Structures are given as structure tokens and as C-alpha cells.
Structure 1
């Protein structure tokens, strides 16, 4: 009996196998109803793209919103075209472009959708909508592009564009797909995770002709998209618009900061461009045009351009000298033009007079005493020790490194060290006479316009600053602001030293920037004229106002505009008037800046 059992089991298994194979044969070969049903209907997954978060100014005026556009998508496996000429006429597409896009879609995926025509306008969509049923494998996906009602702050706000291959590779969260839009610069890029929202998905049944047969499983698997979070920026729209008007036809930067918070009120990179140029179907053509423009409108000067600070750095030298006890209000030096060139003014001068008259020989001599404190009998070693100590004090002012603004690609400028000069000249082969140009903010010293504005905020606050930033609230909540923008930074100089500095800066306008003076508001400022070996010097000015209760700190840098008391000081003064008074009464000064002829 036991010997027959294995044979019975084998017979049973064979019979079951035969039955299953027979049934499978009937389904696949004799009965094609299953095949016909599969061909008639397929499940199509459609991404439900979220609305990107809106961006407002500090007074809740809209800066950036969304415009709906349509992408014509193609699934290569299902796509069929009998009359190519007719198809190209209906969809306004060249034959070569059709072939190119179809081949790109096949290379990406045979069964997944790819864009055939991107960013179709409402008008064009209405024309092609009725023909979609005639072409299997085509469907419309709704997207949105950015739009800018006032066309300002392009470098600050940034733009969105299709995700790059290298960005896809770094997408560890696997959120993005080929063809998705992502912030590429400015606020759009830095706050991408907050602005982008969360994708949803819809599943629908379509037949072989692409006709919608309704939701799959009554929509049980569908998920709704979640809109991105709205951002309230620190930018003052009206001040930004006015500043861009003043900088028309010029190259340079304007950065205005609210001193007590670090909030950026205005950030201008001139020449400016219309941000709407990089939104919509003409993005590629316009981007290439802007990129090849010799004036470099895509170069974000406030955070990327680095210049010698010029005479505005004399204020920092004064504060370091006061804190170290090397300078006092009564420290007096002659205006010895044999040491370094200077303009005509009374001599000798004390510290107040040196700031007021921007005396170069004064700071040549003061800086030498800061650097050479005779801590070593070897002059070269003494200079090295003094320079490195000085450098640490300077960097506390937010110089020589990135400030940490909420924008990418910020440059840090340069505060030279002894290692740098060892590399240039050799160790023990340089001394004060080699580096004296640092005394007046020239030589190897470099700062960004953002750092200049931050210096003005430090002078206004009497010794501290908050990291400059562009975000005021995320999703309506101020507590969502990153902690680093709420941290107070002390520069290591006692507050009482700033009283003389502020008084001297207010008086300095009468000596070097009389055009900037306002009757009803006391402006404390410092001019600078940064040397330029390639042409006319650059005009520099930093200021804060009102002196008694500072509400705005500003830096203006106008390239090739000469003396700082002209272009830069005039522009800054008008910006201060606009922000504090809301209107401009000095029309003659406004016309002077708008005309831009600063050498008469």
C-alpha cells in the first residue's frame, strides 16, 4: 500500500497541472475577452502638482504669484500618428521638433509620460483641446509658472526652472522627477522645501484611444496635493521699486537693512532685469540672452561682487584702535601727504577730524601703531603678530567670511592674514610698509555690498548686528524663521566708543557728502572712493538714519561713478528719504541721480 502512494501523488499533480494549463490556454488563445478588456482600459497615474507658495513683501503686498500653464504629455508606447503634417499643424510643432521630443520621451521611458510641448498658453490649449481624442498617448497636465506683478527684485527672489540632472541625483528624498520645476536661485532656491508643497496623484481609467473612462476604484487611491507655504519677505516693495528706478542705467548695488533686526528692506543688483523674462515658455531663449549680456544682469552683485571697501573701512580702524587703547578721541596726527595722498583739509587732526575729513595720512599712522606694538624686537615678526591680532578684531565685524544670508552663492570677501603675505613675499620678508594700503581699505582687503550695509547696521546699533536675512514669516508664523537670524552678534567694541563715531559720521556729510544732507533727518554716513585700475573709480557710501534712533542702514556702491559723495551718497540719501518719509521732496537731487552724469 505504501509503495503505491508516491505514484498516486504524482498522478494527482500531473492532472492538476494539465487542468491549469488547459484553462490558461483557453484564456490566452481561445478566449480573447480578457485581452480585449485589458486593451480597452488601462490605469493612468497623473501627478497632481501643488500650487507653489506665494511670496509677499513686509507689508503683505504680493511679489510673486502663480500662473497656470499646460504641458502636453506623451506616453510613447501608446502614441500613434498617421498624418504627421496634420498633427504638426494642429499642435503648432515643427516636424523635426516632434521627432526630437518623441525620441527624448522614449529614451526616458517607453511607458511613463514625458512632456511633448511645455507651457502651452490658455489660447493654444483651447485650440488643441478638441483634437486630443484623436491621438492616443496624449494628455494635458496642468502646471503653474511664476509671475511678478511689479517686476522687481529679480536677483533676490530668483526664478524656477526645470530640475537639472545633477539636482535629480542629489534628491535623496526622491521627491522630484524629470521635468519638474525647482527653485534655481534667490529666495525660490533657498526656501524650496517650504515653497514647493507636496505632490498628490490621481488614477484614472482610459481606453486604447485615450478616452477618460473615469476614476480607478472610484478614486480610493487618489491623494490630494498640498500647496506650498506662503512666505512673507522682509523686502519693502515701494522702497525696492524706487531703488531700482534710481539705479537704472548704472552698475552696482544697493542694500538697505533694518538695523535692530537684520531684516533686509531692499536689495538691488544693477543692472536689473524683468523676472517675468525667466517665467514661461521663452525661459531658455531669455536666459541665454541674459547670460550673454556683457553687463552681467544675472550676477547678484550685493552678495557676489567683492570690492575694496575704501574709506568706509576707516570707521572700523577707528573702533579697533579705540577698543585696543591705541587711539583716543584726542589722538592727533598731521596730514602728511608724503606718507600717502590726501585731499586738502585742516591739519593736524584728531580722531573726530580724521573721520570727518577722511584723512588718509591719519590712518596710515594710526594703523602702523595698531600693527606694530613692539611685542617683538624683530620688525617682521612684530608686524606678523600685529596683523593677525588685527585680523581677528576685523572679522568680528562680519568681514572676511560669509555672513550667512538666506541666499546661496554668497561670497565672504577677504581680510588678509600673515599666511597670505608669507605666500606672496616669503616668511619674514614683509613688514608694515608692505601692507600699509590696508589702513585705508585698499590692497588685498575685499568686502561685499551686503557686508558694507551690515557695517552700517553695526555703527547704528553701537556694536552688534543680526545676520541680514530676507524672511519675515513662513506660513504666517514668525517662529518658523531659522534661529540663526534671531541671534545677536557682538563685535567686541564697547558701546560708548560708538558715540564719537556716530557724531563724526553725521558731521562727515558736511565735509564729503553735502548733497546727502536732509533738513529734517540727521544722517550719519561715510563716503568712499574705491580705486579701480580698469577705469573710473567706484563710488561708495554707507549710512544710517535717523542718527538718534536708527531705522535704516544702507550701503550703495556705484561702479565707475567716481567720488563717493556724488553718486552713492545721493542715491543713499534719497532711499532714506523714501523709506522714512514715504515721498521725495528733493526733486532736484532725484533728477541728478536719474540723469547719472556724476562727473560734472
Structure 2
């Protein structure tokens, strides 16, 4: 039986051709990696060994007119996660047990605060030193987890000053979408209410940047020498016209009531010396993550502690308008310091209705100064008619 086969010489040629084709495939792949994809791979490699760490500046202090501190800073530790360095089966379960947060909540916070995969995303603020010590000692159990010392706000207690101090909170997506915002990132802290919000551009300062070299295991090797650290610029301090002694006196006076507000002004120049809204809330709770149960308790409180009564409460002005009315009449020359009007007999007829004075027996004949002293309604009714609506509206 005749046996058919491929000649040896031809088999050698086929083998060489296959080897050559394989060589071309390997060479093409290497060329693609080395030439075509080099920029992208180099960037990924660089990102894998570099950790970008924001340097949070010290937020400016707020003091009263005598230089006494109303809003201060205190040191605090923040635990963060670098998404690119996380080990799914190790990091989240171990971190959950350490921080007392379930893995779903941790994932939610990482997603909310992630700027990019190679920058730490804050997970929990104001953690205890013991937690930081565990992270430092057992680093291999927490790949991708880092911590940083930051300054958190500390509001002076006993002032009931939340009506003007406000509070700070984490940057939201809405904050980033505001026109002209270029120096904020997710996870940083900004003013949310009151003075903290209005003066945020002064108090916040400018964030710096540090670059750390990181091993494949996640261990920090030290500062990256070829990248220069950009130092943070501390925020400016603000001095208020508030007087702490008077503010404390207002807080003590309000403590005997269910709710109310006090605003003390210097009549010589209009400076606000004290401003209190009662009941208030402890602004220090917003320096850390507010527990859901606490937030629900505050927001559902029937006395509305979150209502800023001096700013947002609507109240009848009462007899305070009498000062404006007399001032307008003096300014317009309608009366002088000796002018009297029809005596107050306890009532004043206007149209078909009688408007009464609070003193039903009447005050008699009064000058403007005595009318203010006695808070006489009848004197003001007559003065208001002489001024007229148009002139009064100019002063109100």
C-alpha cells in the first residue's frame, strides 16, 4: 500500500511560514503596546503609582468685636478610599466592620465623593484616633484606604448664634453646577448657611495638592520628588460687630420661652450687637456626618429649630413703626419737637369707624417725644394722615 505524505522540504516551509506569521502577530502586538497605546498606558502606569492628595487649608476664624472667638477649628481625621486601589473582596468588608457602616453605604459615599479613580473619596469624617491607629497598623487589610488630618468647624456653645453663623457641609452636585465655580471638588467642605455661606469665598481659602508615590500593594512610599507640592492658602479671618456678652444675655433671656427671637442694634450706626433665634440647634453636628435619626428629630420638631426667626420669620412690626413715623414727620418738617395734636381721648374716628388707643382713658395732649414715650396710638393715627401714604411708603 502506497503511503502519501507531505515532503519534508515543504513541511519545513510551512512551519517557517507559521512561525513567521506568529512572530508578526507578536511583533505587531508589541508595536501596538509600545507605540500606539504608549501614551495611554504610560498615563495609567503613572496614575497607579501616584496618589493625588488634596491639602485642605485652614478655614478662617470668626470673632466678635473684641476679638473673642465665635467660630474656631479643631483637628479631625477623615477616612477616604482610593477607588483604583480597592480590593473588592477585602477592602469593603473590613472597612465596614471598622467604621460601623454597611458596605452599601460605603459604596454610596465613594460614588458621591469620587473626583477620579486615583484621588481619595471621603467616606467618614471625624473618626476617632483608635480607628486611624488600626488603619496604620493593619494596612494590608485595607487596600485603597487612606486617612488625612483635617480641620473641622467648632462653634462656641451657649450663644444661640446659629441664626447668623450658619454651618458648613460637603459640596453637592448642585454646588458644582453654580456659575463661576471652578475651585470646588466633591468631598470638600463649604458654607451652607448664614455667615459661613455668605463669607465662604473669604473663609475657605485655596486648596493645595500633594503627590505621593504608592507601591502596587497600596503602601505609601513617600512624596513624589518630581512633582512639586502646591501649598494651601489659609482662609481669611472675619470680625463681626457682635458682642459675645450681649449675645449670651439674649440667649439666657430666651431660654425661659418656648420660642422667640432677639436682635440688638446700636442706634448710632445700625451695627448688629446680638442676634438670637430660639430654639436653635447645635451647629457642631454639621461638622461631621449627621445621623439620619438626628436629622429626622430636628426637622420634625414642632418648635422648628431650623427656622431662622430674625431673618425668615414674619411678624407684625407693632409699635416699632411709630419711630419711623415720627422720624419721617420731623424730616419732612410736618412737626417739630414742640408740636402737639388733638388730645388723645382713647379713640379716633376715621370714616365710620372708631380706632382705639391701647390706653382707653386717653393720654391727653402730647408732643412727639411724649407720644413715643407713652406709645400713643391716637397721636400716630393723626400724624400718619398728615404724612400720607406716598410719603410714608418712601420711609418704609
Deviation at 1:87, TM superposition (A): 4.5
1:257/1:110 CA distance change after superposition, 3 Å: same
Determine the structure 2 residue equivalent to 1:135: 142
> Counterpart in 1 of 2:320?
312
Any residues of structure 2 matched to 1:500-539 within 5 Å, and which? none
Structure 1 residues 49, 88: CA separation in 2 closer, same or farther (over 3 Å shift)?
same
Question: Is 1:366 matched up with 2:383?
Answer: yes
The aligned residue for residue 245 of structure 1 is 252
- Aligned partners of 2:30 and 2:363: how far apart in 1? 110
Structure 1: 5+ residue stretches without partners: 1-16, 29-33, 372-386, 396-600
1:341 aligns with 2:356: yes
Contact 2:53 2:120 in 1 (8 A): no
Higher mean displacement: 328-337 or 202-211: 328-337
C-alpha distance in 2, partners of 1:101/1:149?
Answer: 29
Contact 2:62 2:69 in 1 (8 A): yes
Q: Secondary structure of the equivalent of 2:152?
A: strand
For the 8 Å contact 2:343–2:363, the answer to whether it is kept is no
RMSD of equivalent CA atoms: 3.2
The CA deviation at 1:27 is 6.2
Which has more radius of gyration? 2
The 3 A distance-change label for structure 1 pair 219 and 366 is same
Q: Which of residues 157, 182, 193 in structure 2 aligns to 1:185?
A: 193
Which of 351, 358, 362 aligns to 2:368? It is 351
Q: Which residue of 2 aligns with 1:222?
A: 229
Residues 63-122 of structure 1: per-residue CA shift (max 9 Å, x gap)? 11112222222222321043565443234332432344455567x644443223333232
Task: Report SS of the residue matched to 1:144.
Answer: strand
Cα deviation 1:527-558 (Å, max 9, x = unaligned):
xxxxxxxxxxxxxxxxxxxxxxxxxxxxxxxx
Corresponding residue for 1:208? 216
The answer to whether the 8 Å contact 1:254/1:267 transfers is yes
Rounded to whole Å, the distance in 2 between the matches of 1:85 and 1:350 is 80
Deviation at 1:148, TM superposition (A): 2.3
Distance 1:314 1:104 in 2: 54
Q: Does 1:331 align with 2:340?
A: yes
When normalised by structure 1's length, the TM-score is: 0.54
- Quote how far apart the aligned CAs of 1:26 are: 9.4
**Structure 2 equivalent of residue 390 of structure 1:** 392
1:273 aligns with 2:281: yes
1:320–1:89 Cα change, 3 Å: closer
Contact 1:135 / 1:209 at 8 angstroms: preserved in 2? no
Alpha carbons 1:256, 1:265 under 8 Å: kept? yes
Deviation for aligned residue 1:163: 1.6
Question: 1:186, CA displacement in angstroms?
Answer: 1.5
Q: Is the 8 A contact 2:325 2:392 kept in 1?
A: no
Distance change (3 Å), C-alpha of 1:273 and 1:88 = closer
Question: Which runs of 5 or more structure 2 residues have no equivalent in the other structure?
Answer: 1-23, 36-40, 349-353
C-alpha distance 283-65 of structure 1, shift in aligned 2 (>3 A): farther
- How many aligned positions are there? 355
Aligned counterparts of 1:151 and 1:174: Cα–Cα separation in 2: 37
Given that 2:51 and 2:118 are in contact with CA atoms closer than 8 Å, whether structure 1 keeps it comes out as no
C-alpha offsets along residues 206-264 of structure 1, whole Å, 9 cap, x if unaligned? 01211112222x16421111111122222111221121011114222222233444332
- Partner of residue 127, structure 2: 120
After superposition, where does 1:478-557 map in structure 2 within 5 Å?
Answer: none
- Match of residue 14 from structure 2: none
